[in-house]
Amino acid sequence: MSVLTTILFIASAVMFILGLRMLGRPETARRGNMVSACGMGAAVAGTLLVILTERDVTITAGEGGINPLLFVALGLVIGGVIGVPAARLVKMTAMPEMVAIFNGFGGIASLLVGWGTLHRAFEVTHAVETPSEPPVTLDTGLSVLGVLGQIGGGDGRFVAATIFLAVLIGGVTFTGSLVAFGKLAGKITSKPVLYPGQNWVNGALAALAIAGGVMMCVDPGVYWVFLAVVGLSFVLGVAAVIPIGGGDMPVVISLLNSYSGLAACAAGFATGNMLLIVVGALVGASGLILTRIMCLAMNRSLANVLFSGFGSVSAGGATAATGEHKEAKSLTPEEAYYVLEAASSVVIVPGYGMAVAQAQHAVKELADLLEKNGAEVKFAIHPVAGRMPGHMNVLLAEANVPYEQLAELDGVNPSMEAVDVAIVIGANDVVNPDAKNDPASPLYGMPIVEVDRARNVFVLKRSLASGYAGVENPLFFLENTSMIFGDAKKTIEGLVGEFKSA
């Protein structure tokens, strides 16, 4: 590589690392996003320089051929035309499924890179067998394995193995992300789709794919084996995600994000691209770390998330608990105002319902009014609230809620008995007391925001329906709980109006 190309790639890697670090803190997350975007710009610029100046390991366009720069330009234009409006117009409620689609696109991109690398090796060896002069600059006296070794800068079998991994992981990520998108967007059922022997079938699919990978490493010249691996990866992606319930989607999204990074890393080894290796490793590692955080937040193992079919278990414990109460108490916003007006400590627990109602700005205004009235206000953020990791943090940051007001479970649960009012806005599973009280509940053992211990609990929901995990919530029927039915944004605006008119 030229000196300028090397500098651009190093700068890109550094910016990705810095951007990822900044994304770990709410106050620096926006800058981290911009730094990462600049890193991607540097990577694209470096790739353009490689195409312009270092064509020794590419098939040349030849007379009448298509210049590779045209493909890069088309990619930039098409990506910009689609990406900019999508990012600007996407609703916050649709952000989780957009993240799922991003993961899928990353996976299919890695698959296509692996496919393109193998196809290039086929074209080179085919050119050797053709009497006409081959339009390539690689050493044409080699087999497919030998050419792959030249392309990847290593042993041909190692390069073939990395192509297999890029294709397998990329294909699983692509179709798995499409299923996750369908579940999050309500296009397909969010409940687990289960059938007898499902794990055995999935295991057999994975074994067939691995067998295909071994055959590719032995002789990558058998093209139908590669195509079979592509097909198996697509089927395996659907089969792996379809049995996972909607309540586990935050974990699935973070895991698929990790898969997309691992696929990119494998594609980097296949093509000998160090930047792709570094970036893929960063994404893969950070995704795995985030997946572990999500699993700890739910007090469940990753194997339990992937293979247990969460949500298919009967929520009999919760149903029995609700049956002990005749009905839930309800209040109007006007009646709830009098309790809030006298409160000195308020904890707000946001959930997906706040995103649906787009109530974050009204919630921020209510929090400001409560503070002016002398109350201490905190926002209790559960790690798996919403449909993706950090969903509530993004919503509250959009409304300019001060970072110091955000609290994790350890910051609110120990003092919950002293809280005058806990306001639950559309959250359900993350405040379900059966998670700590009922061993028969599918949620049992998951750490929750223990609002049931507060002096008063206001739950803002449209109905008494169960949450995304499909588990009923006995919190709605406790003596200290009052339901405020209706659209969360209108309810909050009603409370804000009462404070302003007082």
E strands, 149-224, in order:
none
Residue 385 has which token pair?
């609230």
Which SS3 state, helix, strand or coil, does residue 484 take? strand
- Give residue 400's region: left, alpha or beta (phi > 0; psi -120 to 50): left
| 191 DSSP assignment | S
CB-CB contact of 455 with 480 (8 Å): yes
Question: 3-state class of 481 per DSSP?
Answer: strand
Find the Cα–Cα–Cα–Cα dihedral 438, 440, 445, 448, rounded to 10°: -50
SS3 for 357-368 is HCCHHHHHHHHH
Integer Cα distance of 99 and 327 in angstroms: 39
**244 is written with which tokens?**
């996972």
Strand partners, 216: none
**Which is nearest to 46 in space by CA: 8, 83, 20, 90?**
8
CB distance 444 to 434 below 8 Å: yes
Q: How many residues does the chain have?
A: 502
Strand, coil or helix: what is 168? helix
Q: Tell me how far apart the alpha carbons of residues 253 and 215 are, in angstroms, rounded to a whole number.
A: 31
Q: Quick check: 461 and 239 in contact, CB under 8 A?
A: no
109, two tokens: 């991109």
3-state SS track over 302-339: HHHHHHCCCCCCCCHHHHHHHHCCCCCCECCHHHHHHH
Tokens of 403: 């970072």
Catalytic residue, from 219, 368, 429, 438: name it.
Answer: 429
CB-based burial label for 19 (10 Å; 0-12, 13-18, 19+): buried
Give alpha helix (H) positions in 219-248: 223-241
Residues β-bridged to residue 481: 457
Q: Would you call 368 a catalytic residue per the annotation?
A: no
CA dist 326 → 317, 321, 329, 422 (Å): 17, 11, 10, 23
* Residues taking part in catalysis: 429
